[in-house]
Amino acid sequence: MVDSVKLNDSTSIPQLGFGTYLVPPEETAATVGAALEVGYRHIDTAQMYGNEAQVGEAVAASGIARDDIYLTSKLNNSNHGRDDVLRSFDETLEKLKVDRLDLFLIHWPLPTRYDGDFVSTWKAMLELKEDGRLTSVGVSNFQPDHLQQIIDATGVAPAVNQIEAHPYFRNDGARLASHAHAIAVEAWGPLGQGAVLKDEVIGEIAGETGRAASQVILRWHLQRGDIIFPKSMRRERMEENFAIFDFTLTDEQVSRIDALDQGAGGRVGPDPDTFDYVG
């Protein structure tokens, strides 16, 4: 049974979902369809992934009620600025074939682009909530000072901050700054995009618990309270990643995983302070 996390706007989100980064469009409908069959009810996509339309196809074909599936998408880096936020949000709804999105995020802050003005983009994101077509609004890859800037400018904290986080890069700076503003943390790349799976300590704990390495890592995230959406295109892995609610890591096992943190050197993705890809 997947738990829910309460957000600061009084809505809630399933703590475990399914990621779709690098799922090719031509394989997305079948992949997301399989994830829905396995039991996932929270799908994370993005304008950048180029597979929103196929996610929408899978959702429509599933026969599952719209309100029983939590859908997230993200604003492409080329769509900062009010007009492009509003226009591209319409496109996202159309592609997903829904009339309401659960969560929409600014994908990257891009502090070295658009004159560093992600505040205007944030204001436009807030506008999207006004007519009921967007339920929750959040950000992704925001560093503590980026969060502070948008909150100072609008008085509104994002519902979530989706940031890279896994045992090799706990990202405590952005994580704790998010918590300080009651912002829920979504950990992207929860398996370190695969890098953490072969870790010796994870392997030892997998032996102790009789669980797969992936399950040990994902369980560690759940016990930290973060929201996760691991990605796999293989059904047996989707099932494995979903079966993490019937065991618990001890405090001692959690501490051993905590100790794997390498700080910024453990990142598998770009640094949000310098990342400037617009595409």
Shorter beta-carbon distance to ligand NAD: residue 8 or 193: 193
Shorter beta-carbon distance to ligand NAD: residue 6 or 234: 234
* Alpha carbon distance 189, 163 (integer Å): 9
* DSSP codes, 143-171: -HHHHHHHHHHHS---SEEEEE-BTTB--
Give the contact letters, 35-74, x = binds to ligand NAD (CB under 6 A), - = no: ---------x------------------------------
Beta bridge partners of 42: 70
* Alpha carbon distance 163, 185 (integer Å): 7
Report, in Å, the least distance between residue 103 CB and ligand NAD: 12
User: Binders of ligand NAD: how many residues, by CB under 6 A?
Assistant: 25
Give the DSSP letter of residue 101: E
Instruction: At 31, list the tokens.
Output: 């992949």
Shorter beta-carbon distance to ligand NAD: residue 76 or 232: 232
What is the 3-class SS of 54-108, one letter each residue? HHHHHHHHHCCCHHHCEEEEEECHHHCCHHHHHHHHHHHHHHHCCCCEEEEEECC
Q: Find the length of the chain.
A: 279
Q: What's the distance, CA 233 to chain centroid? A: 17
Q: Does 104 interact with ligand NAD (rule: CB under 6 A)?
A: no
Q: Does 188 interact with ligand NAD (rule: CB under 6 A)?
A: yes
Region from 52-60, 122-130, 233-241, 242-250 binding ligand NAD, contact rule CB under 6 A:
233-241
Based on the residue annotation, tell me whether 49 is a catalytic residue of this protein. yes
238: nearest Cα among 30, 82, 9: 30
Report, in Å, the least distance between residue 131 CB and ligand NAD: 25
Of the residues 31, 54, 135, 141, which one makes contact with ligand NAD according to CB under 6 A: 141
Q: Which of 40, 49, 70, 168 does the annotation list as catalytic?
A: 49
* Alpha carbon distance 264, 82 (integer Å): 32
Of the residues 14, 19, 109, 167, which one makes contact with ligand NAD according to CB under 6 A: 19
Report, in Å, the least distance between residue 262 CB and ligand NAD: 16
Of the residues 51, 140, 143, 161, which one makes contact with ligand NAD according to CB under 6 A: 140
* Alpha carbon distance 145, 83 (integer Å): 25
Q: Does 193 interact with ligand NAD (rule: CB under 6 A)?
A: yes
Max Cα separation, the chain? 54
Instruction: At 235, list the tokens.
Output: 């059904």
Active site residue ranges: 49
Which residues here bind ligand NAD, judged by CB under 6 A?
A: 19-21, 44, 107, 140-141, 162, 188-194, 197, 214, 229-232, 237, 240-241, 269
